[in-house]
Amino acid sequence: ASVTMMVESILKDSNRLVPCSVHHSGLYGLKDDFFIGLPTVLCREGVHTVVELKLKRAEARALKQSAATVKETIDQLKTLMD
């Protein structure tokens, strides 16, 4: 369903807010260099903007924990590929 919303937003140039895996570019206080699911506005050209919502403390902690898990998994995969 999410992919369908993403494709529709791009094809119809509807600038719809959808969850999308994007490079965080330091948003939400995230460090390191990786992609993670964030609220994103998609348009005909692709990512129009990544929306930085005001998160409660618990939500920010959960996002940072999720990001740490993603980064750890990426690092493990890199180790396996070497």
Provide the 10 A C-beta neighbour count for residue 44: 12
Q: Does the structure show a pLDDT above 90 at 8?
A: yes
CA geometry: angle at 37 spanning 25 and 71, to 5°? 70
For the entire predicted model, the pTM comes to 0.82
pLDDT digits (tens, 9 = 90+) for 18-68: 999 999 888 999 988 889 999 999 999 999 999 999 999 999 999 999 999
